[in-house]
Amino acid sequence: MRHAVVMAGGSGTRLWPLSRAARPKQLLDVVSSGDGGAHSLLAEAFTRLEAVLPAERIWVCTAARYGAQVRAALPRLRPDRLVLEPVARDTANAVGLAAALVAEADPDAELAVVSADHVIRPVERFAAALTTAFDALAERPRALVTLGIRPTAPATGFGYVRRGPATGVPGVAEAAAFKEKPDRATAEAYLASGEYLWNSGMFVWRARTVLDALADHLPASAEGLARVVAAPAGTDRDAVLAEVFPTLPKTSVDYAVLEPAATEPGRVLVADLDVDWLDVGSWPALAQTLATADGNAVGGLAVTLDSAGNIVFSDDPEHLVALVGVRDSVVVATADVTMVCPVSDAERVKQLLAAVEQGHGARYS
């Protein structure tokens, strides 16, 4: 059967001070619902998958410290579908742990791996593309399918994948090459060629296939995860997980699985995902999910006078942020931190957080 896992363990440091270690961006109600309300990125990801799969076959992988918040945010998530990482060991081990548990529940499972911090519209086109990626496994059962977003601009902040020969499934091609984040001129050439897609970091494969790939290329992780699943579910397994997981080699699923597999002709495929896609990883990106008022992106209570191009956010419904004569700035107010920076410096927020931690420890993290 077909399953999906939402990867929801990130900390979202570039959205500080709104996103914190104790409550990261995927759990914050920051996506405008269009009716004056808002919902979380995680809730949106779960609902988006329900267009393809029943709720009982949707899993969520997150940090153990977020478990209670995830349960509260997703009332339709089955308790046994929540995968908790005791510590962060990068995506290869997170994906591997989820795949091992899914394979235990369904040895023939086909598994989609999606992110919790994307906004994807319209949902119908996402559902169609994900279904197409699943369909590709019928033709090539050992395939590793990545979802490629049709680029709309010469973005330099994303990785790219070049399409190769077509497969027997419309909308799916062999992946000819993966390219890291390019410079502007290279990105413009990629866009002009029509051969390249943005690499979304979302995948479809058989759960057993990715576990076999880990056994081939990251045996220490494969062996450790096998020990975890061999333990009886419950407190015994939790104890083994707490012992083993922190020892696993820390690496990404792209490096551990996709890059080695890409050396085998036709092993890695790319499915065309023609959607409006937003990776909510920074304040300018988040601004695209907020309501607009007088030329400003606004979340929460705000009043602006002769101000434009700003991103204004308050997480307290009783705390008013008032701007006069302010241009092109990020202004964020939380209970214990106020941050102001030019929009052009928004990518430096992670660097700013490091400076805050150096001066004040983890108090404001």
Considering the domain architecture, whether residues 199 and 330 belong to the same structural domain is answered as: no
Q: What is the mean pLDDT of residues 61-78?
A: 96
User: pLDDT tens digit string along 300-322?
Assistant: 899 999 999 999 999 898 999 99
118 in a structural domain = yes
Number of domains in the chain: 2
Considering the domain architecture, whether residues 68 and 174 belong to the same structural domain is answered as: yes
What pLDDT score does 255 carry? 87
133 in a structural domain = yes
What pLDDT score does 155 carry? 87
Considering the domain architecture, whether residues 161 and 265 belong to the same structural domain is answered as: yes
175 in a structural domain = yes
Considering the domain architecture, whether residues 153 and 231 belong to the same structural domain is answered as: yes
Alpha-carbon distance of 212 to 205, in angstroms, equals 11
What pLDDT score does 34 carry? 65
Q: What is the mean pLDDT of residues 76-97?
A: 96
Strands 196-206 and 160-166: antiparallel
Q: What percent of the chain has pLDDT over 90?
A: 80
Considering the domain architecture, whether residues 131 and 240 belong to the same structural domain is answered as: yes
What pLDDT score does 180 carry? 86
Provide the residue range defining the domain that includes 274: 2-279
Residues linked to residue 118 through DSSP beta bridges, in sequence order = 279
Considering the domain architecture, whether residues 85 and 173 belong to the same structural domain is answered as: yes
| Residue 134 in this model has a pLDDT that exceeds 90 | yes
Considering the domain architecture, whether residues 156 and 259 belong to the same structural domain is answered as: yes
Q: Can you give the three-state secondary structure of 29-74, one letter per residue?
A: EEEECCCCCEEEHHHHHHHHHCCCCCHHHEEEEEEHHHHHHHHHHC
The residue out of 259, 279, 299 marking a domain boundary is 279
Considering the domain architecture, whether residues 291 and 240 belong to the same structural domain is answered as: no
| Residue 254 in this model has a pLDDT that exceeds 90 | no
User: pLDDT tens digit string along 189-200?
Assistant: 999 999 999 999
Considering the domain architecture, whether residues 272 and 288 belong to the same structural domain is answered as: no
305 in a structural domain = yes
What pLDDT score does 245 carry? 98
What pLDDT score does 35 carry? 65
Which one is predicted more confidently, 309 or 280?
309
pLDDT tier at 36, thresholds 50, 70, 90: low
My answer on whether omega of the bond before 122 falls inside 30° of 0, hence cis, is: yes
What pLDDT score does 211 carry? 96
In the numeric block, the tokens 């290329």 are attached to: 217
Considering the domain architecture, whether residues 254 and 315 belong to the same structural domain is answered as: no
358 membership: H or E segment, kind and range: helix 349-360
Considering the domain architecture, whether residues 52 and 111 belong to the same structural domain is answered as: yes
Considering the domain architecture, whether residues 181 and 197 belong to the same structural domain is answered as: yes
Q: What is the pTM of this model?
A: 0.90
| Residue 219 in this model has a pLDDT that exceeds 70 | yes
365 in a structural domain = no
